């Protein structure tokens, strides 16, 4: 998705981003402000109305919990994961459309510094994932433990998003930074909360299909953002804030209706945690790594993946230094084509894998190496080995295809002094686009398998959101580490060019990404498949539903 950033800068430079600096009617800037204030008041009202139940309220409704295992329709499973559609669209639109333009608008003297500050704040906000998941896991209310926080976090995210619209128009940079950080915090609370809906509501034999739905929704949302930007490029880019807020509200409604939770008042209350708030929060970021070693290996693969895809953020520089002496808008158009090609291919691959996983869940298989009998595994239980195959094969495919820009870029670099720039583009851009499309297929396969296997290896279903929230930590660590290493490789290996970076620097970062993808495939091969859902790779010695397992 990061490949779209340069294309959006082109819209801004050519005037297609909209008349952001002209004098607006006195009422127009107030519209997003009023909507933001209304959303903030609504989120506060929901927080009061849907506050967690007291112990006395829970005791009055104490009844034995009943685990429902009836199969859900594919449409309802998709609806439960619908928030990922808004996430994919929002991340593509904000990170790749809005942020570059806001950096140019609010940091006139240093655009790259402003963009770096915004990206850093977004990365730090991801650290809230496990803590937000814990809040959802222990929430007790009459409409379930996920939907209250889902409603509160969605209205708060929409409010902050509309507030960013107003603050940007008024060029209030400091307030914009604070609101941006709060919006990202609310967004991550929302993501960690909705992640727990699948383990809670979707039967075990359909969770692989649900994982494919999650990946497909993210990628389809990203493709939708690309289409949205190209189709409505004449509008003021601030309108994208309103579009994101509307899509979030719509997807939240779909998820809440599809995720028809039962009351969580009858569930056991979490026992009291000792120590200060800081020590209690720190405990939510730990678990027994040895006991749930296979889940730990999956987190390692997530971190490696996030480190590898950072390389896509350097694609604009790669195109500029490979095809030299072209107008700036040509470079950005080429990056736009590359972005669309990769995202569409990834989305198609994820949809196909989703259908494949859904088909196998309808028949059901059982790992013959597992000592879990048919009665405990459940009739029609899905085979998580398919998810593992998707991770390994998708990562291996990406490792191979990362060499496409190395090979074609090297050949183009050798010819740039002997042929004209237009001839160079006509010769080497088509094979690069084809290579990126084929690479996107591997990405889609990997993401679908990754989402599905996360549910299969979940250590404790009662703490589903907290454990799934560790993915945000992987994204934070992987992005920071990958970005730092890639920048260093490009600076060191690409030094010596009269302008920009020399080709060896780009070859180094693409080879680095290939090595990381290959490492994902190797690490995934050591993951052992569980005998049952919701208990990770080891037996808990109980029903696996204790709210606070020993750490």
pTM of the model: 0.78
Distance CA 312, CA 293 (A): 30
% of the chain surpassing 70 pLDDT: 79
Q: Please, which residues have CB within 8 angstroms of residue 58's CB and are 6 or more apart in sequence? A: 140, 265, 266, 269
Q: For the segment 105-114, what is each residue's pLDDT rounded down to a tens digit?
A: 888 877 767 8
Report helix angle 147-169 to 239-258, nearest 10: 180
Per-residue confidence band for 382, with pLDDT thresholds at 50, 70 and 90: low
Does 93 have pLDDT greater than 70? yes
Query: Which pLDDT score is estimated for 273?
Result: 62
Please write the tens of the pLDDT for every residue from 2-19: 444 444 343 333 333 443
Question: How confident is the model at residue 80, as a pLDDT?
Answer: 92
Least confident of 93-97, 251-255, 460-464: 93-97
pLDDT band at 296 (very low <50, low <70, confident <90, very high): very high
> Residue 530 has what pLDDT?
67
Q: What is the pLDDT of residue 360?
A: 59
Q: How far apart are CA 18 and CA 404, in angstroms?
A: 37
Q: What was the pLDDT predicted at 66? A: 41
- Give Cα 62 distance to the centre of its chain: 37
Whole-number pLDDT of residue 355: 83
Which of 87-101, 212-226, 307-321 ranks highest by mean pLDDT? 212-226
pLDDT at 416 over 80: no
Q: What is the pLDDT of residue 156?
A: 95
pLDDT at 59: 45
pLDDT at 264: 74
Q: Which of 364-368, 391-395, 431-435 has the lowest mean pLDDT?
A: 364-368
2-52+72-266+288-367+378-525: CATH superfamily: MFS general substrate transporter like domains (1.20.1250.20)
Lowest mean pLDDT among 27-41, 141-155, 165-179: 27-41
Model pLDDT for residues 346-378, shown as the tens digit of each residue = 989 988 888 887 775 555 444 444 443 433 333
Q: Do residues 346 and 219 make contact, with C-beta atoms less than 8 angstroms apart?
A: yes
pLDDT of residue 154: 95
Lowest mean pLDDT among 57-71, 278-292, 367-381: 367-381
Are residues 313 and 506 in contact, defined by beta-carbon separation less than 8 angstroms?
no
Looking at mean pLDDT, say which of 31-35, 53-57, 497-501 comes out highest.
31-35
Distance of alpha carbon 68 from alpha carbon 203, whole angstroms: 8
Q: What's the whole-number average pLDDT of the chain?
A: 79
Mean pLDDT across 21-29: 52
pLDDT at 68: 52
CB 269 within 8 A of CB 62: no
Average the pLDDT over 38-50 and give the result: 90
Q: How confident is the model at residue 399 (pLDDT cuts 50, 70, 90)?
A: very high
Q: What is the percent of the chain with per-residue pLDDT over 90, rounded to a whole number?
A: 25
Residue 21: pLDDT over 80: no
* More confident of the two residues 98 and 17: 98
**Does the pLDDT at position 271 exceed 80?**
no
Q: What is the DSSP string of 320-362?
A: HHHS-S--HHHHHHHHHHHHHHHHHHHHHHHHHHHHHHHHHHH
Domain residue extents for the chain: 2-52+72-266+288-367+378-525
Could you give the C-alpha distances from 152 to 181, 406, 426, in angstroms and in order? 17, 47, 51
Residues 6+ apart with CB under 8 A from 547: 137, 138, 268, 270, 271, 462, 463
Alpha helix stretches (DSSP H) within 384-469: 385-401, 404-415, 421-456, 464-468
Mean pLDDT of 95-109: 80
Q: How confident is the model at residue 547 (pLDDT cuts 50, 70, 90)?
A: very low
pLDDT in tens, 203-255: 888 888 888 888 889 888 988 887 887 777 677 888 889 999 999 999 999 99
- Residue 54's Cβ-count burial label (10 Å; 0-12, 13-18, 19+) is exposed
What's the pLDDT at 383? 66
pLDDT band with cut points at 50, 70 and 90 for residue 427: confident
Paired tokens of 412: 């183009």
CA distance 305 to 99: 23
- Listed in sequence order, the DSSP H helices in 127-204 are 129-137, 147-169, 173-195, 197-201
């Amino acid at each position: 998705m990061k490949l779209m950033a340069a294309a959006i800068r082109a819209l801004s430079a050519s005037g297609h981003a909209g008349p952001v600096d002209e004098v607006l009617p006195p009422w127009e800037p107030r519209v997003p402000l009023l909507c933001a204030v209304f959303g903030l008041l609504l989120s506060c009202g929901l927080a009061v109305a849907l506050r967690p139940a007291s112990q006395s309220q829970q005791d009055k409704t104490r009844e034995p919990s009943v685990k429902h295992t009836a199969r859900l329709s594919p449409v309802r499973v998709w609806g439960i994961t619908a928030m990922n559609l808004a996430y994919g669209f929002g991340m593509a639109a904000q990170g790749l459309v809005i942020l570059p333009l806001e950096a140019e608008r609010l940091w006139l003297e240093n655009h790259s510094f402003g963009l770096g500050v915004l990206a850093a704040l977004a990365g730090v906000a991801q650290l809230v994932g496990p803590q937000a998941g814990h809040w959802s896991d222990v929430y007790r209310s009459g409409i379930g433990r996920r939907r209250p926080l889902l409603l509160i976090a969605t209205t708060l995210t929409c409010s902050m998003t509309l507030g960013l619209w107003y603050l940007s128009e008024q060029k209030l940079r400091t307030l914009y930074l604070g609101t941006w950080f709060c919006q990202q915090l609310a967004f991550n609370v929302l993501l960690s909360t909705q992640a727990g809906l699948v383990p809670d509501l979707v039967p075990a034999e359909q969770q692989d299909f649900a994982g494919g739905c999650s990946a497909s929704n993210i990628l389809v949302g990203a493709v939708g953002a690309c289409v949205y930007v190209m189709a409505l490029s004449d509008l003021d880019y601030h309108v994208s804030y309103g579009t994101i807020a509307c899509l979030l509200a719509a997807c939240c409604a779909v998820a809440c209706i599809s995720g028809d939770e039962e009351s969580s008042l009858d569930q056991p209350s979490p026992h009291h945690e000792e120590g200060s708030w800081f020590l209690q929060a720190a405990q939510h970021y730990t678990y027994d790594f040895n006991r749930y070693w296979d889940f730990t290996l999956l987190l390692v693969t997530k971190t490696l993946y996030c480190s590898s895809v950072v390389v896509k953020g350097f694609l604009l520089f790669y195109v500029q230094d490979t095809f030299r002496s072209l107008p700036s808008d040509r470079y950005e158009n080429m990056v736009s084509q590359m972005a669309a090609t990769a995202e569409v291919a990834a989305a198609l691959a994820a949809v196909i894998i989703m259908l494949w996983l859904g088909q196998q869940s309808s028949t059901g298989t059982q790992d013959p190496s597992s000592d879990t009998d048919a009665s405990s595994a459940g009739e029609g239980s899905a085979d998580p080995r398919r998810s593992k195959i998707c991770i390994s094969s998708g990562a291996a495919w990406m490792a191979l295809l990362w060499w496409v820009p190395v090979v074609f870029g090297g050949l183009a670099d050798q010819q740039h002094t002997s042929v004209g720039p237009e001839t160079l583009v006509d010769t080497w851009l088509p094979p690069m686009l084809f290579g990126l499309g084929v690479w996107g297929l591997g990405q889609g396969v990997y993401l679908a398998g990754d989402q599905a296997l996360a549910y299969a290896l979940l250590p404790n279903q009662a703490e589903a959101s907290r454990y799934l929230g560790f993915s945000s930590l992987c994204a934070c660590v992987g992005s920071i580490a990958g970005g730092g290493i890639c920048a260093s490789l490009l600076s060191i290996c690409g030094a010596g060019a009269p302008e920009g970076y020399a080709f060896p620097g780009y070859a180094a970062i693409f080879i680095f990404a290939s090595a990381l993808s290959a490492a994902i495939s190797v690490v995934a091969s050591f993951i052992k498949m569980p005998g049952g859902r919701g208990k990770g790779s080891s037996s808990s010695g109980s029903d696996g539903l204790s709210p606070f397992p020993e750490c």
